Amino acid sequence: MIRLIAVRIGTTLGVVFGAMALLFLLTVLVPGDPASTLLGPEASPEAARRFVIEMGLDQPVPVRFARFVAHLAAGDLGTDVLSGRSVASVVAAVLPYTLVLTAAGMALSIMLGVPLGVYAALHPGSAADHALAGLSVALIAIPNFVIAILLLLVFSVWLDWLPVLGAGDANDMADQARRLILPTVALAVGWIGFLARLVRTAMLEVLAEPYIRTARAYGLPQRTIVLKYALKNALIAPLAVLGLGVGRLLGGAVLIEIVFSRPGLGRLVLDAINARNYPVLQGAVLVVVVLFVLTNLVVDGLYAAIDPRLR
Contact residues toward other proteins (CB under 8 A) are 30-33, 36-47, 50, 82-85, 90, 93-94, 149, 152-153, 156-157, 160, 163-167, 170, 258-261, 263-264, 267-268, 271, 273-276
Beta carbon nearer to other proteins, 42 or 217: 42
Cβ at position 15, least distance to other proteins in Å: 27
Beta carbon nearer to other proteins, 39 or 226: 39
Cβ at position 20, least distance to other proteins in Å: 20
Indicate the helix (H) or strand (E) that contains 107: helix 87-122
Do 158 and 124 meet the contact criterion of CB atoms below 8 Å apart? no
Beta carbon nearer to other proteins, 8 or 178: 178
Cβ at position 190, least distance to other proteins in Å: 20
Cβ at position 276, least distance to other proteins in Å: 5
Distances (CA, A) of 298 to 40, 110, 241, 284: 44, 16, 13, 21
Question: Other C-beta atoms within 10 Å of 305: how many?
Answer: 10
Beta partners for residue 79, in sequence order: 86
Beta carbon nearer to other proteins, 9 or 30: 30
Do 287 and 217 meet the contact criterion of CB atoms below 8 Å apart? no
Cβ at position 269, least distance to other proteins in Å: 11
Side-chain half-sphere CA neighbours of 56 within 13 A: 20
Rounded to whole angstroms, how far apart are CA atoms 82 and 36? Answer: 12
Rounded to whole angstroms, how far apart are CA atoms 273 and 177? Answer: 30
Q: Using only C-alpha atoms, what is the Rg of the chain? A: 24
Beta carbon nearer to other proteins, 172 or 227: 172
Cβ at position 36, least distance to other proteins in Å: 5
Beta carbon nearer to other proteins, 114 or 259: 259
Beta carbon nearer to other proteins, 170 or 174: 170
Cβ at position 147, least distance to other proteins in Å: 14
Rounded to whole angstroms, how far apart are CA atoms 167 and 267? Answer: 13
Rounded to whole angstroms, how far apart are CA atoms 240 and 199? Answer: 12
Beta carbon nearer to other proteins, 41 or 75: 41
| Percentages (nearest 5) of helix, strand, coil residues in the chain | 80, 0, 20
Cβ at position 140, least distance to other proteins in Å: 24
DSSP string of 244-296, one letter each residue: HHHHHHHHHHHHHHHHTT---HHHHHHHHHHHT-HHHHHHHHHHHHHHHHHHH
Beta carbon nearer to other proteins, 27 or 109: 27
Beta partners for residue 86, in sequence order: 79
Cβ at position 48, least distance to other proteins in Å: 8
Contacts of 181 (CB under 8 A, 6+ apart): 162
